[in-house]
Chains A and B, each alone.
Chain A
């Protein structure tokens, strides 16, 4: 289908170029304009992965702030598409909620209308080609620099240069085009004109994948009287609907919230367009009043079009902003999440790979998912459930009651619950490392290690399971007690990690709590070794059983240390940088010395 579309476009354009030199000029202008947009987006991407994300995270805690962020950021970047991509990435990584995302998108719609102001107010009234050429020269010079920020600024400057050059080309050739064909002859009035030109606006934006390019074309056409003001209004409405198609395509690789956001975008633009179409006469009056109060001449239709573009987007915000919460409920009901299998990765989607922050957060969330699955498998191996962790005494009681414990198919559980997600995480991290804009960060390495620790804990549990089942009968009374102690200690550690995770916000010194857990692991290990030695000495267990127990207590130690190391990365990990607390955390030797000192 794509190939047919491409062949058709090339053929039609070639025929057009052959027939008219002016058409060739306009098409080249649009191409330059679009290339400028791409370059601008590339430039702003160099500034993401830092300030922009931090601002986004801090300024989107209320719907009103999200709206403000959408307006300001899109006005500055002049790209609602980039804003959509960033918002979808943050939503996919769980760093934004849907209501905040919708607020940003509403704001982006108003922010993008500043483009029409720039084109109508600056692009057509000033000889922008004079600015374009130096911008291109300085921009290219900066692109060749090795500094990432300078390179980004270079792309922005080059983008603006191409935008201006494209606009100048369109303007110039439209003026000449008028001498051959007068498009105004095709003007339509009434409802028919509204519908046809809205359709043309949609089609043009879908083809060019940019409402900015459509606006640039129609404003320049309006400036040289190639289209009527009434038809230009319909085209502007159409371009607003057409732009949602790009957002929908962008949301295909996103998670369910990304898809819901695209749904909200479509709803907003369609409802705004329908309102504008039905109330166009009123809008025209309001535009006239607003233009008069802004000092815009009554016959300056290009600026009046910009006023209209801003006003009808503002009307959409006024109409829908109070209902964002209801919109969220509606979208959640309408676009339902498919029941995701516990065995599949939940957070590793393509849209989150765009920015370092969202990428790292997605990997962290997926690692947390893997950790939860691992805890399930470990507890099941010892015949326990998560609910048993609530009460320590009840937990001990449940373990003591187990006579001939049932065998849990840990091999199968590993294949189903662990291996797939683990492999997906590793593949995702590798993919990110290959992307030129993502240097593999230390945080990703820590998370990869955390994943390895989880898998090691499961493998150790598998080794431990053999003797847990073998010595689980009352025939081996003393050995069974020791194995129950081992299972109890592992379950208790999981419970302590859950508590640590829950209280981390309130804990002023979380690294002290974690080091205390590490010391407890060390102490428990000494305790159990002493207990086993006593049992052998008192002939309560055979030396063979004792050696099995010592081996298995080593597995227990390994499971516990691996789980604590994972918790350290997952819950103590800060996205910004290494905090001073990290430097104070105790190493293995220091932990051992603590345990020795309390036994002295």
Chain B
């Protein structure tokens, strides 16, 4: 391992901000996974339902999840690019 790379790794080990960023990324990824799962479940439920009220509710939730995922992915990108800039 190169000396500079070793030092960078060592620095990261003690860098609390780096740890926090890593934790945030992990949390965000977990939320995005849950959103994806929920989206799939709602799509299946929407295809099966004949109740117009329920269908409307599912469509609303799907639209909300779509925006959540979009915002989540953008946030993930921002955190990663900031992390890259720092390192």
Q: Is A141 an interface residue (CB 8 A)?
A: no
User: Bound complex: CA of A584 vs CA of B67, how far in Å?
Assistant: 8
Q: Give A506-519 as 1s and 0s: 1 = Cβ < 8 Å from B's Cβ atoms.
A: 00110110011001
* With A516-B64, A519-B64 as contacts: A584 and B59 at CB distance below 8 Å: no
Which B residues lie within 8 Å of A581 (CB)? Answer: 31
Question: Does A583 lie within 8 Å of B61, measured CB to CB?
Answer: no
Residues facing B in A544-600 (CB within 8 A) are: 579-581, 583-584, 586, 590, 593-595, 597-598
Question: Does B75 lie within 8 Å of A583, measured CB to CB?
Answer: yes
Residues facing A in B48-69 (CB within 8 A) are: 56-57, 59-61, 63-65, 67-68
Q: Is A449 an interface residue (CB 8 A)?
A: no
Q: Is B27 an interface residue (CB 8 A)?
A: yes
* With A580-B28, A580-B31, A583-B75 as contacts: A512 and B68 at CB distance below 8 Å: yes
Residues facing B in A482-520 (CB within 8 A) are: 508-509, 511-512, 515-516, 519-520
Q: Is the interface of A mostly helix, strand, loop or mixed?
A: helix
Q: Is the interface of B mostly helix, strand, loop or mixed?
A: helix
Question: Does A516 lie within 8 Å of B72, measured CB to CB?
Answer: no
Contact-residue size bin, chain B (C-beta under 8 Å from the other chain): 20 to 34
Which B residues lie within 8 Å of A580 (CB)? Answer: 24, 27-28, 31, 72, 75
Question: Does A586 lie within 8 Å of B57, measured CB to CB?
Answer: no
User: Which has the most chain B C-beta neighbours within 10 Å: A508, A512, A516?
Assistant: A512
User: Bound complex: CA of A419 vs CA of B27, how far in Å?
Assistant: 40
Determine the residue in chain B with the shortest Cβ distance to A577. Answer: B20
Q: Is A523 an interface residue (CB 8 A)?
A: yes
Q: Give A370-382 as 1s and 0s: 1 = Cβ < 8 Å from B's Cβ atoms.
A: 0000000000000
Question: Does B60 lie within 8 Å of A516, measured CB to CB?
Answer: yes
Question: Does A598 lie within 8 Å of B63, measured CB to CB?
Answer: yes
Residues facing B in A292-333 (CB within 8 A) are: none
Which A residues lie within 8 Å of B71 (CB)? Answer: 583-584
Q: How far is the CB of B31 from chain A (nearest CB, A)?
A: 6
Residues facing A in B19-44 (CB within 8 A) are: 24, 27-28, 31, 34-35, 38
Which A residues lie within 8 Å of B24 (CB)? Answer: 580
User: Bound complex: CA of A586 vs CA of B68, how far in Å?
Assistant: 7
Question: Does A509 lie within 8 Å of B59, measured CB to CB?
Answer: no
User: Which has the most chain A C-beta neighbours within 10 Å: B35, B60, B71?
Assistant: B60
User: Bound complex: CA of A595 vs CA of B64, how far in Å?
Assistant: 10
Question: Does B31 lie within 8 Å of A584, measured CB to CB?
Answer: yes
Please pick, from A516, A584, A597, the residue contacting B57 in the complex, using a CB distance under 8 A. A516
Question: Does A519 lie within 8 Å of B75, measured CB to CB?
Answer: no
User: Bound complex: CA of A597 vs CA of B57, how far in Å?
Assistant: 13
Determine the residue in chain B with the shortest Cβ distance to A585. Answer: B68
Question: Does B63 lie within 8 Å of A597, measured CB to CB?
Answer: yes
Please pick, from A508, A523, A583, A594, the residue contacting B64 in the complex, using a CB distance under 8 A. A594
Please pick, from A508, A586, A590, A595, the residue contacting B34 in the complex, using a CB distance under 8 A. A508
Which B residues lie within 8 Å of A579 (CB)? Answer: 27
User: Which has the most chain B C-beta neighbours within 10 Å: A512, A516, A580, A593?
Assistant: A580
Determine the residue in chain A with the shortest Cβ distance to B23. Answer: A580
Which B residues lie within 8 Å of A520 (CB)? Answer: 60
Which B residues lie within 8 Å of A515 (CB)? Answer: 64, 68
Q: How far is the CB of A349 from chain B (nearest CB, A)?
A: 35
Please report A residues at the B interface, Cβ cutoff 8 Å: 508-509, 511-512, 515-516, 519-520, 523, 579-581, 583-584, 586, 590, 593-595, 597-598
Contacts A580-B27, A584-B72, A594-B60 known; list 20 others, CB within 8 Å.
Answer: A508-B34, A509-B34, A509-B35, A515-B64, A515-B68, A516-B57, A516-B61, A519-B63, A520-B60, A579-B27, A580-B24, A580-B28, A580-B75, A581-B31, A584-B68, A584-B71, A586-B67, A590-B67, A594-B63, A594-B67
User: What are 15 A-B residue pairs whose CB atoms fall within 8 Å in the complex?
Assistant: A509-B34, A509-B35, A515-B64, A515-B68, A516-B60, A516-B61, A523-B60, A579-B27, A581-B31, A586-B67, A594-B67, A595-B60, A597-B63, A598-B59, A598-B60
**Considering the complex of A and B, which 10 residue pairs feature the smallest CB-CB distances, nearest first?**
A580-B28, A594-B63, A584-B68, A515-B64, A580-B27, A598-B59, A584-B71, A519-B60, A508-B34, A584-B72
Please report B residues at the A interface, Cβ cutoff 8 Å: 24, 27-28, 31, 34-35, 38, 56-57, 59-61, 63-65, 67-68, 71-72, 75
